[in-house]
Amino acid sequence: MFLRELTEPAGSLKGAGPETVRRLSGAAVNSIADLLCHYPRNWEDRVRAVPIAGFRNSPVNTVVRVSGHDWIGAGGMRTLKVYVEDDSGSASLVCFNRPFLGKKLTPGKFFRLWGRFFYKYGEIQSSTFEFEDAAEGGKGFGRILPVYPLSEGLTQGVLRRLVKDALDLYGPSLEDELPGRITVRDNLLSKKDAVRAFHFPSSMEELERARKTLIYEELFYLEIMVGKRAMERRAAVRNPAGPASSGAFSPLQTRLLERLPFKLTSGQTEAAAEINRDMDGAWPMARLLQGDVGSGKTLVSFLAALKAVEGGGQAAIMAPTELLARQHAENATRLLEPLGIRISFLTGNIRAAGRAPLLASLAGGGTDIVVGTHVLFSRDAAYRDLSLVVVDEQHRFGVTQRSLIMAKGDYPHLLMMSATPIPRTLALTVFGDMDVSVIRDMPPGRKPVKTHLAREANEEKVYSFVRKELAAGRQAYFVYPLIGGGEDGESGENGGLKAASSMAERLSRFVFPQYTTALLHSKIDEDEKQRIMNSFSRGGITILAATSVVEVGVDVPNATCMVVEHAERFGLSALHQLRGRVGRGADQAYCFLVYSEPPDAGSKGLPGAEKGPHNRDLFSSERSALTDGGKARLRIMLENNDGFAIAEEELKLRGPGQIAGTEQSGFLPLGIADPVRDAAELAGAREDAFSILEGDGDLKKPENRIVAEVLRRAPPFSNVAL
Ligand code: ADP
Ligand code: MG
C-alpha cells in the first residue's frame, strides 16, 4: 500500500472511540493516512540523560531517589509535594490534584523521572513530570518521543498511542514511493522506515534521515506534477507552425499606443513584446508579470487583451476587489472602447436582472473583454471563446480560483500580475513552469515618495504638514487598522486603537474642518463606495479616511499624502502597497508612518531610521519602544522604496513559509517541505523529476514503474492545480 491509500477511518483503530474520532477530525485527521501524516512538531529526546542540575537548558531526564513528602495548602485543597534527588541535586515534584501519587512515590525508592523544571520559591520545581519505576526499564523512557501539534481535546498521550497502533498495524505494508536508485544515491530511508522513524526515531540521526527522505519525496512529486502540467500545456498546441514571432505590436495595439498621451517605458515595451511572442507561440502562454506598484502593469495587460481580441477570442481581466475591478473597467472603457472593443463589467454586486444580459453577451460573444471580480469564474459565467485570462494582484487569489477561471476556456493564455515579488524558488514551485517578466522602471517624472516616521504623540506635526499640502490643492489618505463603530465585531472596545470611522469624524470636525472628509471601508455598500471613490478622484472629496481597502490598485494622482496610523500593525507588503497609492503624479508625495507606543515606552529610537536615501525620521527626537519586529519593519520601509527589496527583507525577517501571498490555504500544498528552507532539495528534486519526464514522458520504462504506480493509485496534490 502507498501511504495515501490508507483511507480506512482512524476510528477503526482500537482505542479511538467516537469522542476521539470527533476530536481527530477537528484536527483534519480522518483516515489512517491523515493520522500518519499528522507529523510531530517537535521531539522529546528522552535518551540523553539530563541530571536535575541541568534543568535550565532542557527537560530533566534522570534516575532519582525519593527523599521525602510534604503537604502544602490546607483542608481539601492540600497538595502533595514529593522531594527527590540525584547525584547532581535535589528538586520537588508538585502533585496538583494527584494526592494518590504519594502511595507510589514512597521515600527511599528509585524512579526514572522526566520533566520540565523551573526555579521557584527557592527550589527546583516541576508540576509536569512523568515517572516510572527505575527497575522497570520502561516504555516512555530511553526513547525519543514525538510532540504533536494539538487541537481541541487531543493529548500527546492519545496521539502517541494511536500513531503507534497505526504504525504497528499498517507500517510494515507501506510501499516505497521514490525510485530505488534515488533512495540509494541519497542514502534515504525506505518509506516504511521513514514514516516510523519520523514519529518514533531511535536516534536523532535516524530522525534526520527520515526527515530528509520525506521532504525529498514530497518535493519530488510536487515537481513531477508541475512537470506533467508543463507537458500538458505544451501538448495543447494552438499554433502548430509556431512561427518565430518578433513580438511586434499588432495593428490594434499600435492604435492604442498612438492614442496614449505618453510613451511606454522600456520595461513595459519589453514585457509586451514577451507577451506577444508567447501569444504567437506554439503553446498557451503562462506568464507572471512582476512590476512595482505604479509601474504600469495594467496597460500591458490591456495590450495583451487587444491581441487576444484580434485573434478572435475573448479576454477576462480579474481583480481581487470590486473597487479595483471597476477602476480597470473604467480605464478599459476609456482607452479601448474607442477602438471598437466591447467591454463588460461584471461583479457579484450586479444583481440578477442586470446580470443576465451581461452573461448572455459573454456567452454569445457580444463581449470582447470582461473585467470583474471572482464572479468571472462563477458557475453561471460562460464564455464563447476565452483566449486570455489576466489575474491582477494574483497573490490575492488562491490556486483553486486560478484553475477555476482557466477552466472557462480551452487552455487560454494566462497572464498573472503582481507587485509582490516572489522569490525564484517559490515561483518555480508554485507556478510550475511559469515564465516571468519584470518591469524594473517607472514611468518618467515620478519622484520617490518621501517616507517619514512619527510617534503618535507627535501627530499634530503630521497634521500640520498635511495641512500645507491640502492648502496647495492636494489630497490625502488616512489609513487605520480598524473600521470601528462596532463594525469590527468587538463591541466598542478597540484596545486603544484608532478606528477609521471615529477618526473620519474627528478629522472632518476638528482637524481639517475646511475640507471634505469621507469614510471608506469594506462594509460600505459598493455603490456608495464607488460614489466616494469617484468624488475623491475628481477632487470633490479632499481626505479619505479608510481602512486598508485602499491598499490595492487605487489610482488618484493628485493625492500626495498617505498617513498610516498604527503603522506597526501592518505587514510590509501592505505598507508598501499603501505607500504606492501616492506618488502617482508629478508632484512630490509623502508617506507618514505613525506608530503608537506601548505604555512602557522605553528609550530606544528606531535604529538606522535616518539612513534611507530619500527618507528620514522627520522628528528626529522620536523615541519608541516598539517590538523588535515592528521596529525592523518600519525601518525597512524607511530604507527602501523598491518593492523587490522590501519583499527580500520581509523574507529575511519572517522566515520561510511566511512569504506574503502564500498564506492562503491551498497556495502551497506542502505537508513537510518548505521550498525556501529546502531550496537545495527542491532544486535536486526538480532535476530528478524533470529528467525522468524528459526521458520517459509516459512513465513506461521499468525503472520508473514506482512513479507511474504512485500517479495511478494515489496521485499526490490531486486537489490542487499546480
Ligand atoms: P500598477 O503596475 O501598479 O498596476 P498602473 O497600471 O495602475 O500600475 O499604472 C499606474 C499609473 O501610471 C496609471 O495612472 C497609468 O495610467 C500610468 N502609466 C502607465 N504607464 C505609463 C507610462 N508609460 N508613462 C506614464 N504614465 C503611465
Ligand atoms: Mg495594478
pLDDT of residue 429: 62
How many angstroms separate the alpha carbon of residue 97 from the centre of ligand 2?
Answer: 61
Is the pLDDT reported for residue 560 higher than 80? yes
Indicate if ligand 1 lies below 6 Å from the C-beta of 294. Answer: yes
CA separation for the pair 299, 378 (Å, rounded): 26
Q: Who has greater pLDDT, 720 or 549?
A: 549
- Ligand 1 center–CA 71 separation, angstroms: 76
Ligand 1 center to residue 582 CA distance, Å? 12
* Ligand 1 within 6 A of CB of 298: yes
pLDDT exceeds 60 at position 276: yes
pLDDT exceeds cutoff 90 at 473: yes
Domains of the chain are 48-142 (2.40.50.140), 251-439 (3.40.50.300), 450-658 (3.40.50.300)
Query: Is 299 near ligand 1, meaning CB less than 6 Å away?
Result: yes
302 Cα to the center of ligand 1, angstroms: 12
CA distance 128 to 116: 7
Q: What is the mean pLDDT of the chain?
A: 85
Q: Which residues contact 351 (CB under 8 A, 6 or more apart)?
A: none
3-state secondary structure string across 555-583: CCCCEEEEEEECHHHCCHHHHHHHHCCCC
Helical ranges in 236-265 per DSSP H: 251-259
Q: How far is the CA of 432 from the centre of ligand 1 (A)?
A: 29
Ligand nearest to the Cα of 300, by number? 1
Ligand 1, atom 5, lies closest to the CA of 296
Question: Could you give the CA distance from residue 162 to residue 349 in angstroms, rounded to a whole number?
Answer: 49
Among protein residues, the one with the nearest Cα to ligand 1's atom 26 is: 443
For the CA of 293, the closest atom of ligand 1 is: 3
Mean pLDDT on 646-653: 72
Query: Which atom of ligand 1 is least distant from the CA of 265?
Result: 23
Distance 304 CA to ligand 2 centre (A): 15
The residues pairing with 3 across neighbouring beta strands, listed in sequence order, are none
Mean pLDDT across the stretch 623-646? 73
- Name the residue of 258, 259, 262, 392 whose CB sits within 8 Å of the most ligand 1 atoms, as the mutation to test its pocket: 262
Distance 296 CA to ligand 2 centre (A): 7
Give residue 661's identity as a one-letter amino acid code: G
- 369 backbone dihedrals φ, ψ, rounded to 5°: -125, 125
295 lines ligand 1 (CB under 6 A): yes
Which mutation among 257, 288, 299 tests ligand 1's pocket best, with the greatest number of atoms within 8 A of CB? Answer: 299
The DSSP annotation for 352-416 comes to HHHHHHHHHHHHHT--SEEEESGGGGSTT---S-EEEEEETTGGGS-HHHHHHHHTTSSS-EEEE
Quick one: which atom of ligand 1 is closest to the CA of 263?
23
Determine if ligand 1 sits within 6 Å of the CB of residue 262: yes
**What is residue 614's DSSP assignment?**
S
- Encoded amino acid at 194, one letter: A
Question: Cα–Cα distances in Å, from 288 out to 266, 278, 572, 675?
Answer: 18, 12, 21, 19
pLDDT band at 668 (very low <50, low <70, confident <90, very high): low
Reported as a pLDDT band with limits 50, 70 and 90, residue 428 is low
- The string over 597-612, giving b where at least 16 C-beta atoms fall within 10 Å of a residue's C-beta and e elsewhere, is beeeeeeebbeebeeb
Give the confidence band of 605 by pLDDT, cuts at 50, 70, 90. very low
Provide, rounded to the nearest whole percent, the portion of the chain with pLDDT above 70: 86
As a whole number of angstroms, the distance between CA 84 and CA 67 comes to 5
Count, residues in the chain: 722
Task: Decide if 391 contacts 319 (C-beta within 8 A).
Answer: no
443 Cβ below 6 A of ligand 1:
yes
In angstroms, the CA 38 to CA 61 distance is: 26
Element (H, E) at 108: none
Cα 393 to middle of ligand 2, angstroms: 7
Write out the E strands in 512-623: 517-520, 543-546, 559-565, 590-595
Residue nearest to atom 18 of ligand 1 (CA): 296
Q: In this predicted structure, what is the pLDDT of residue 503?
A: 93
Angle, helices 526-538 vs 322-336, to 10°: value is 50
Please tell me if the CB atom of residue 264 comes closer than 6 angstroms to any atom of ligand 1: yes
- Kindly identify the ligand whose nearest atom is closest to the C-alpha of 586: 1
Q: Are 88 and 100 in contact (CB under 8 A)?
A: no
Of the pLDDT bands very low, low, confident and very high (cuts 50, 70, 90), residue 530 is confident
How far is the CA of 240 from the CAs of 228, 243, 276, 413, 694, in angstroms? Answer: 20, 8, 16, 16, 20
- Decide whether any atom of ligand 1 lies within 6 Å of the 584 Cβ: yes
Give the per-residue pLDDT at 617: 40
Mean pLDDT over residues 626-641, rounded?
A: 77
Rounded to an integer, what distance in angstroms lies between the CA atom of residue 257 and that of residue 251?
Answer: 10
Nearest CA to ligand 1 atom 17: 296
Q: Which protein residue's CA is at the shortest distance from atom 13 of ligand 1?
A: 296
Cell of 319: 481583480
1 alpha carbon to ligand 2 midpoint, in Å?
Answer: 49
Residues, CB-to-ion distance under 5 Å, ligand 2: 553
Can you give the pLDDT at residue 347? 83
pLDDT at 158 over 80: yes
What's the pLDDT score for residue 670? 76
The three cell numbers of residue 617 are: 525620521
Interval between CA 521 and ligand 2 midpoint (Å): 19
Q: Mean pLDDT, to the nearest integer, of 38-44?
A: 90
* Mean pLDDT, range 507-528, rounded to an integer: 91
| Interval between CA 584 and ligand 2 midpoint (Å) | 12
Rounded Cα distance between 12 and 21, Å, is: 9
Of 325-334, 629-638, 665-674, which one has max mean pLDDT?
325-334
- Determine the pLDDT at residue 464: 94
Burial tier of 137 (Cβ tally within 10 Å: 0-12, 13-18, 19+):
exposed
Integer Cα distance of 577 and 579 in angstroms: 5
Summarize pLDDT for 488-517 with one digit per residue, the tens.
Answer: 544 444 667 889 999 999 999 999 999 999
Mind giving me the DSSP string for 414-447? EEEEESS---HHHHHHHSTT-EEEEE----TTPP
Alpha-carbon span 97 to 80, nearest angstrom: 8
Nearest ligand to residue 396 Cα: 2
Q: Compare 649 and 49 and report the one with higher pLDDT.
A: 49
Predicted pLDDT at 608:
33
Regarding the beta carbon of 291 and ligand 1, being less than 6 Å apart is answered yes
Structure confidence at residue 665 (pLDDT): 32
Phi, psi of 298 (to 5 degrees): -55, -45
Give the ligand whose atoms come closest to the C-alpha of residue 320: 2
| Dihedral sign of CA atoms 205, 206, 207, 210 in order | positive
- What are the φ and ψ backbone dihedral angles of 215, each rounded to 5 degrees? -65, -45
Greatest alpha-carbon pair distance for the chain in Å reads: 96
For the Cβ of 296 lying below 6 angstroms from any atom of ligand 1, the answer is yes
Name the more confident of 664 and 64. 64
Cell of residue 606, nine digits? 528606531
Q: How confident is the model at residue 666 (pLDDT cuts 50, 70, 90)?
A: very low
Instruction: Report how far ligand 2's centroid is from the alpha carbon of 503 (Å).
Output: 28
* pLDDT confidence band for 604 (50 / 70 / 90): very low
Ligand closest to Cα of 584 equals 1
DSSP secondary structure letters along 164-196: HHHHHHHGGGPPP-S-HHHHHHTTPPPHHHHHH
More confident residue, 43 or 496: 43
Q: Among 555, 573, 641, which residue has the most ligand 1 atoms within 8 Å of its CB, making it the best to mutate?
A: 555
**CB proximity list for 585: less than 8 A, separation 6 or greater:** 557, 558, 560
- Cα-only R_g, the chain: 31
pLDDT for the residue 245: 76
pLDDT tops 60 at residue 580: yes
pLDDT confidence of residue 629: 64
Q: Which residue has the higher pLDDT, 545 or 247?
A: 545
Give the distance (Å) from ligand 1 centre to CA of residue 299. Answer: 7
Question: Residues 336-348: pLDDT tens digits?
Answer: 999 999 999 998 7
> Is pLDDT of 601 > 50?
no
pLDDT score of 318 more than 50: yes
State the pLDDT at residue 602.
39
Query: Looking at per-residue confidence, does 178 or 237 come out higher?
Result: 178
C-beta of residue 411 within 8 angstroms of C-beta of residue 284: yes
Whole-number Å distance between alpha carbons of 543 and 546: 9
81 has pLDDT over 70:
yes
Q: What are phi and psi of 390, to 5 degrees?
A: -110, 125
- CB neighbours of 475 closer than 8 A, spacing ≥ 6? 536, 539, 541, 542, 543, 544, 556, 558, 559, 560, 561
Ligand 2 centroid to Cα of residue 292, in Å, is 9
Residues 406-431, buried b or exposed e (16+ Cβ, 10 A)?
Answer: bebbebbbbbbbbbbbbbebbbbbbb
Residue 704 DSSP class: G
Q: Which ligand is nearest to the CA of 302?
A: 1
Nearest ligand 1 atom to alpha carbon 392: 4
Residue 486, pLDDT above cutoff 70 = no
What cell does 284 get? 498557451
Q: What is the mean pLDDT of residues 140-151?
A: 82
Nearest to 24 by CA among 150, 117, 130: 150
Reported as a single tens digit per residue, the pLDDT across 352-385 is 678 889 999 999 999 999 999 999 999 989 999 9
Measured from the Cα of 439, ligand 1's closest atom is 2
- CB of 419 closer than 6 angstroms to any ligand 1 atom: yes
Confidence check: pLDDT of 273 > 80: yes
Sign of torsion, CA 621 624 630 632? positive
- Nine cell digits for residue 267: 520595461
Centre of ligand 1 from the C-alpha of residue 265, in Å: 10
Distance 446 CA to ligand 1 centre (A): 11
> Atom of ligand 1 at shortest distance to CA of 557?
14
